[in-house]
Amino acid sequence: MHSESGAGLVSTLSGVGVFLFFVLFATQILLHLVAASFVNAAAFDAARLASGAGDVTADAAADHGLAVLGSFAGRVSRFDVAVRPTSVTVEVEAVSPALVPEAVSRALGAASIQRSITVRREQVRCEGC
């Protein structure tokens, strides 16, 4: 007769390994989405500030956007604000935080964050002034 003791050990360990892989995968994607949301919000806030009727410079808007990011600003490689007569464009590039090796992060498309936000400039309209 054959003993079946320990037969469930291999399947249990492989099942736990697959489960942990999926948890790590989901956590990495969630972390990337949160970071992308932070970058999006900071870029939009900087564009909104630069597009106002006040005299805010592009550099001041970029500094404000980086300040909104807080400690995540260290991962930002580019934060450009371009003020045009009718619009403001903010372009941001950042490195996404990773729990997995960089090669895996790249394969998932979660290694970097690139955002471009364009908003119209506000202009005071005064008829009959």
Helix (H) or strand (E) holding 24: helix 7-51
pLDDT at 5: 66
Q: What is the pLDDT of residue 18?
A: 93
Q: What is the model's pLDDT at position 3?
A: 67
* Residues 78 and 51: beta-carbon distance below 8 Å: no
Q: How far is CA 17 from the centre of its chain?
A: 29
Confidence at residue 90, expressed as pLDDT on a 0 to 100 scale:
96
4-42 residues labelled b (16+ CB within 10 A) or e (exposed): eeeeeeeeeeeeeeeeeeeeeeeebeebbeebbebbeeb
Instruction: Please tell me the predicted confidence (pLDDT) of residue 57.
Output: 87
Consecutive 10-residue runs of the chain (129 residues): their mean pLDDT? 69 91 89 93 93 82 92 92 92 89 77 91 74
Query: What is the pTM for the complete model shown?
Result: 0.78
Percent of the chain as helix, strand, coil, to the nearest 5: 55, 20, 25
